[in-house]
Amino acid sequence: MKTKAAVLWGVDEPLDVAEVELAAPGAGEVRVRIEASGVCHSDWNAISGTWATPLPAVLGHEGSGVVEAVGAAVTSVSPGDTVVLSWLPACGTCRACQQGRLSLCEFVTRQMAAGSLPGGGFRLSHNGTRLHHYSFLSTFARHAIVDERSCIRLPAGTDTDVAALVGCAVTTGIGAVINRAKVNPGSSVAVFGAGGVGLSAIMGAGLAGAETIAAVEPIGSRRALALELGATLALDGRDPAAVQALLDYSHGGVDYAFVAAGLTSLLGLAFSVTRPGGMIVAIGVPPDGSVVSLPGPELVRSEKIITGTFYGSARPAIDMPMILRLHAQGRLPLEKLVGRRYRLAEVNEAFADMRSGISARAVLRPWEEGNGTRG
């Protein structure tokens, strides 16, 4: 069948919204009509070449939709089901999966670099030219073929804009706090970067019962949103007095520092504002080839723990529905993350707005024909 998709033909080129060919779902695969897709910084890293990605490709990895058709042997979803898409269709059988650490799945890590679906197949093409899948999903399109394990069924009536964001940013930020760091009630927390992931980490810290939550973010509108979503202090990291203000506020250093932006310089800063015995969690992935530098003697004497978290160390099938239930109960105001909505044809504008920080989270609605603005 034919569908519309945003294709990245080469690094640093604008996305090309084109009619593409989508093959039928193979065994274990599902065709999803994409309802909403968040615009994530990881997609931008593919465009800018910061991370090497097989091209040409249809980008997008933060989506929700409705199952339209299923291939042979699919048992967990049926046509008509509303789903959130996980870009981590873990194999379930490797050593990491057996240990319950799905984000470290050896199979997924290996296969994702190929730009195929998890089974090795390709279902997208344009005039006979093969297009790569991105993060197993390719949600900047009206339809996507995905692996059954990427589909997590949701109750009918779930807000598909919010569900899309749960597919990446929200789960990554909240999971960093509750799965990886396991923040204790009464803790002090700092979050560096208040985009979709950082704001989600702030909400996660509130959910975990942190006493103080400091947001460090250069864009004023995002600092204001951070305060609305549970931060107790918001600082501009470019202010030379910010580090001392944070140390004073946390009485000598925070228990947990989360670095949502993928900048190695922020990891050094986060290390310096974390108290001895505290934990620094890197969430945003720094550029290919970058190296983190830390003060050697203090690393030993302070016993600080430095760790990363990939996809919020999530078990998507458990964590995503749980996060959406908490949202439905009014305990996570995730709808405030949904910024301006864009038509598929406006995808390049959505990226420009994401990079300038105008929108909390830009959301593509690939079926909308008119002006998708929702305030």
Smallest gap from residue 262 Cβ to Zn ion (A) = 11
Task: Name which of residues 80 to 99 contact Zn ion (CB under 5 A).
Answer: 90-91, 94, 97
Smallest gap from residue 91 Cβ to Zn ion (A) = 4
Our CB check for Zn ion shows the closer of 20 and 105 to be: 105
Number of residues assigned to the chain: 375
Smallest gap from residue 238 Cβ to Zn ion (A) = 25
Our CB check for Zn ion shows the closer of 86 and 188 to be: 86
Smallest gap from residue 106 Cβ to Zn ion (A) = 6
The yes or no reply on residue 345 touching Zn ion (CB under 5 A) is no
Hey, what are 129's tokens?
């030219």
- The number of C-alpha atoms within 13 Å of 368 and in the hemisphere containing its C-beta is 19
Tell me how far apart the alpha carbons of residues 222 and 220 are, in angstroms, rounded to a whole number: 5
**Which candidate, 343, 354, 344, places its Cα nearest to that of 17?**
344
- The number of C-alpha atoms within 13 Å of 139 and in the hemisphere containing its C-beta is 33
Our CB check for Zn ion shows the closer of 97 and 281 to be: 97
Our CB check for Zn ion shows the closer of 58 and 105 to be: 105
Task: Name which of residues 104 to 123 contact Zn ion (CB under 5 A).
Answer: 105, 107
Find out whether 6 and 17 touch, Cβ atoms under 8 Å.
yes
Smallest gap from residue 197 Cβ to Zn ion (A) = 8
Beta bridge partners of 146: 30
Counting residues that bind Zn ion (by CB under 5 A) gives 9
Give the list of residues 6+ apart from residue 44 with CB closer than 8 angstroms, or none: 50, 351, 354, 355
Q: Which of 17, 168, 176, 259 binds Zn ion (CB under 5 A)?
A: 168
Smallest gap from residue 196 Cβ to Zn ion (A) = 8
Tell me how far apart the alpha carbons of residues 220 and 199 are, in angstroms, rounded to a whole number: 14
User: Please, where are the H alpha helices in 100-232?
Assistant: 106-112, 160-166, 169-175, 196-207, 220-228
Q: Lay out the site mask for Zn ion across 13-42 (x = CB under 5 A, - = otherwise).
A: ---------------------------x-x
Our CB check for Zn ion shows the closer of 3 and 200 to be: 200
Tell me how far apart the alpha carbons of residues 65 and 14 are, in angstroms, rounded to a whole number: 25
Q: Lay out the site mask for Zn ion across 300-319 (x = CB under 5 A, - = otherwise).
A: --------------------
- The number of C-alpha atoms within 13 Å of 208 and in the hemisphere containing its C-beta is 27
Smallest gap from residue 366 Cβ to Zn ion (A) = 17
Tell me how far apart the alpha carbons of residues 364 and 375 are, in angstroms, rounded to a whole number: 14
Q: Using CB under 5 A, list all residues that contact Zn ion.
A: 40, 42, 90-91, 94, 97, 105, 107, 168
